[in-house]
Amino acid sequence: MISRPTPYKAIVIGGSAGSFPVITKVLSSLKTPYRIPLILCLHRLKHVRSGFVEALSIKSNIKVVEPFDKQTIKPGFAYLAPANYHLSIELGNHFSLSTEEMVSYSRPSIDITFESCGFAYKQKLLGVILSGANKDGAHGIRKVKAYGGTTLVQDPMESKVATMPTAAIESHKPNHIYSSQKIIDFLNLINR
Amino acid sequence: MPEQNQGVWNTQRNRPDIRLGFDELNYIIKIIKEVADFDFSHYAASSFQRRVYRVLEIYPFKSVQELVNRLRTDAQFTAEFIEEVTVNTTELFRDPEFWQEIRDSVLPSLAQHRNIHIWHAGCSTGEEVYSMAITLAEAGLLDRVKITATDINETVIKTAARGHYPERLFKLYDNNYRIFGGKKELSDYYKIENGSIRMNPELLANVKFRHFNLVGGEVFSKFDLVLCRNVMIYFDKVLQDQVSKLFYSSLFKYGFLAVGSKESLIWCSVSHKFKTISNDNKIYQARV
Ligand SMILES: C[S@@+](CC[C@H](N)C(=O)[O-])C[C@H]1O[C@@H](n2cnc3c(N)ncnc32)[C@H](O)[C@@H]1O
């Protein structure tokens, strides 16, 4: 079903409305040890600072954390962009946070995280856009592909809210359009 | 600088014609160092790159070279460029839990001193300073305090000293203050005039604003409490290490240091010289 896997250094996942059940399912279905770090940029309510990591952790097979500024990126972790900060990647394999203006009315912005991951990891990156109610991420995933990365979009037909995956498909030609079950299979397949 | 719509500011997408890789960024950094003696070389590259793109969106430069030529010839523009590249977002009572911790864990200890010295490093437009003044006033300590508030950006310092803010921000600020659990209403500390919120100037009775660059900055006084929140996230680890040393040296015995809620001192060389007062709120106290 899938071509030869490439050695990915990171997987970046973006989503908003309707993505939570998909993310939970992904996190509970990853075969451990999972060797590729996951970077999650999910929209959520401003000023709800805690609770999200806990909610995602309940069924997760890997550890979910909100990274601190300049924290080193390691395999075996899912890093969640903290509320009210943009999350980027610096060369030297660590995160960097910022409180710049919102982008497309969002902070964290999926576009920022994706573009910065694309710039840092080039062809060693897998970018995934899931269900969501706005167009954040459409620009970012296009940049991921332009930098040589692989892109995957949740099938809009299967997405709870199709706006975000549809916009991602309109902005560029993704390598894959998968249902959530196929996304999980793919993530496990590339974990070699 | 021309106004930008807050919500729709984009990253590279509006200037796909200009490449800003490390070579271009380093070139710009070198020129700014030459013409303005300001050193961005230890700023975090990801946000620096985005900020330069932002300037390229506001100004119709056709190339990096055109931008550099302007930097070389127009000191006023260079000053604006530096201000535009640094990030100024702030709030009154940003992270209300932090201010609760200051009120409940730090002020009682500071209250034992006759005079209290506080430094806001990177105060931006002043919201943090007013939050502190209000917290001190409610603890009955405002008249015993001397606050120094510094930033590199002269424009935000002027805004801070004036204390006028757009009315639309106050829903958020009110809400922050409510979560903080202040003794009054936030509106007791300001009045509304011509659609702008004007902070009560008495809150600034013991506040001095001044220009201060943390890059290469040296100890200029000693403090009981230093706040430097959401400033070091724009620095790389090397600069964070230097600046945290400066803070340690600027503290009195058992002085407190507060950083942003997502910042950490653990990889700084002075980290073992601090004891953690609150890990969630990033408040540390100097050991002796
Ligand atoms: C995001 S604001 C933080 C405001 C406030 N402390 C808060 O947390 O709400 C960052 C501020 O740091 C200032 N800054 C950036 N680089 C600086 C430097 N080298 N020296 C002093 N201040 C600097 C910027 O001008 C800006 O006003």
Q: Work out the average pLDDT over A87-103.
A: 94
Please, which contacts does A184-188 make with residues 24 or more away whose CB atoms are closer than 8 Å?
A: A184/A25, A184/A26, A184/A29, A184/A30, A185/A1, A186/A2, A186/A152, A187/A11, A187/A26, A187/A30, A188/A29, A188/A30, A188/A31
Q: Is B105 left (phi over 0), alpha (psi -120 to 50) or beta?
A: alpha
Boundary of a domain, candidates B86, B107, B127: B86
Whether residues B56 and B112 share a domain: the answer is: no
The pLDDT of A62-74, averaged and rounded, is 97
Whichever domain contains B226, its CATH number is 3.40.50.150
pLDDT in tens, B73-105: 999 999 999 999 999 999 999 999 999 999 999
How many angstroms separate the CA atoms of B243 and B270, rounded? 10
Domain boundary among B86, B120, B140: B86
Asked if A111 is an active-site residue, the reply is no
Using CA coordinates, name the residue in chain B closest to A135.
B8
Annotated active-site residue in A88, A109, A136, A171: A136
In a domain, B114, yes or no: yes
B82 conformational bin, left if phi > 0, alpha if psi -120 to 50, beta if neither: alpha
Using a 6 Å cutoff on CB, does residue B159 contact ligand 1?
A: no
Domain-ending residue, one of B67, B86, B105: B86
Q: What angle do CA B121, B125, B131 make, to 5 degrees?
A: 75
**Around Cβ A74, how many Cβ atoms within 10 Å?**
12
In a shared domain, residues B145 and B179: yes
- pLDDT tier for residue A103 given thresholds of 50, 70 and 90: confident
B261 part of a folded domain? yes
**Closest partner CB to B263 (pick from A66, A68, A115):** A68
- So what's the architecture of A13-189 in CATH? 3-Layer(aba) Sandwich (3.40)
Alpha helices per DSSP H over A30-149: 52-57, 110-121, 138-146
CB < 8 Å to A89, chain B:
46
Question: For atom 25 of ligand 1, which residue has the closest CA?
Answer: B153
Q: What residues of A are in contact with residue B46 (Cβ under 8 Å)?
A: 88-90, 96, 98, 116, 119
Pairing of strands B223-228, B207-211: unpaired
Q: Does residue A64 register a pLDDT over 70? A: yes
Smallest Cα distance from A6 to chain B, Å: 25
- Asked whether residue B3 is assigned to any structural domain, the reply reads no
B110 with B245, same domain? yes
- Give strand pairing partners of B190: B199
Shortest distance between the Cα of A111 and any Cα of chain B, in A, equals 8
pLDDT at A48: 53
B79, part of any domain? yes
pLDDT score of B6 = 41
Mean pLDDT of A135-156: 96
Instruction: Give the pLDDT score at A46.
Output: 53
The pLDDT of residue B4? 41
Instruction: Look at residue A184 and tell me whether its pLDDT is greater than 50.
Output: yes
Q: Does B264 lie in the same domain as B140?
A: yes
Query: How far is it, in rounded angstroms, from Cα B170 to Cα B176?
Result: 9
Instruction: Give pLDDT, residue B2.
Output: 39
SS3 A122: helix
Mapped onto helix, strand or coil, the DSSP state of residue A96 is strand
Percentages of chain A per state (helix, strand, coil), in multiples of 5? 30, 25, 45
- B72 and B155 housed in the same domain: no
Q: Are residues B45 and B133 in the same domain?
A: no
Per-residue pLDDT band at A50 (split at 50, 70, 90): low
Structural domain count, chain B: 2
Q: Is the domain of B200 the same as that of B153?
A: yes
Q: Which atom of ligand 1 is nearest to the CA of A99?
A: 1
- For the question of residue A43 being annotated catalytic, the response is yes
CB A114 within 8 A of CB A140: yes
Strand blocks (E) in B152-234: 164-166, 190-193, 196-199, 207-211, 223-228
In a domain, B256, yes or no: yes
Instruction: State yes or no: pLDDT of A47 exceeds 90.
Output: no
What confidence score (pLDDT) does residue A192 get? 75
Domain boundaries, position B226: 96-286
Rounded average pLDDT per 10-residue block, chain B, 288 residues: 42 74 96 96 95 90 95 96 95 97 98 97 98 98 98 97 94 96 97 93 97 97 98 97 98 97 93 96 94
> B134 with B66, same domain?
no
List, as one string, the DSSP characters of B41-67.
TTB-HHHHHHHHHHHHHHS--SSHHHH
Residue A31: phi and psi, rounded to 5, are -85, 130
User: Closest to B6 (Cβ–Cβ): which among A67, A102, A143?
Assistant: A102
Q: Is residue B15 part of a domain?
A: no
Q: What was the pLDDT predicted at A2?
A: 53
**Rounded mean pLDDT of A43-66?**
83
Q: Is residue B186 part of a domain?
A: yes
Does residue B213 share a domain with residue B131? yes
Report, as an integer, the average pLDDT of A172-187.
Answer: 98
CA distances from B92 to A39, B6, B202, B229 (A): 31, 18, 17, 13
Query: Does residue B13 fall inside a structural domain?
Result: no
- Cβ-based interface (< 8 Å): residues of A facing B: 47, 49, 66-71, 82, 85-86, 88-91, 96-105, 111-112, 115-116, 119, 139, 143
B65 lies in the same domain as B170: no
Same structural domain, B158 and B189: yes
Spell out the domain ranges in chain A: 13-189
Mean predicted confidence (pLDDT) in A62-87: 96
Nearest CA in chain B to A117: B46
**pLDDT at position A129 over 60:** yes
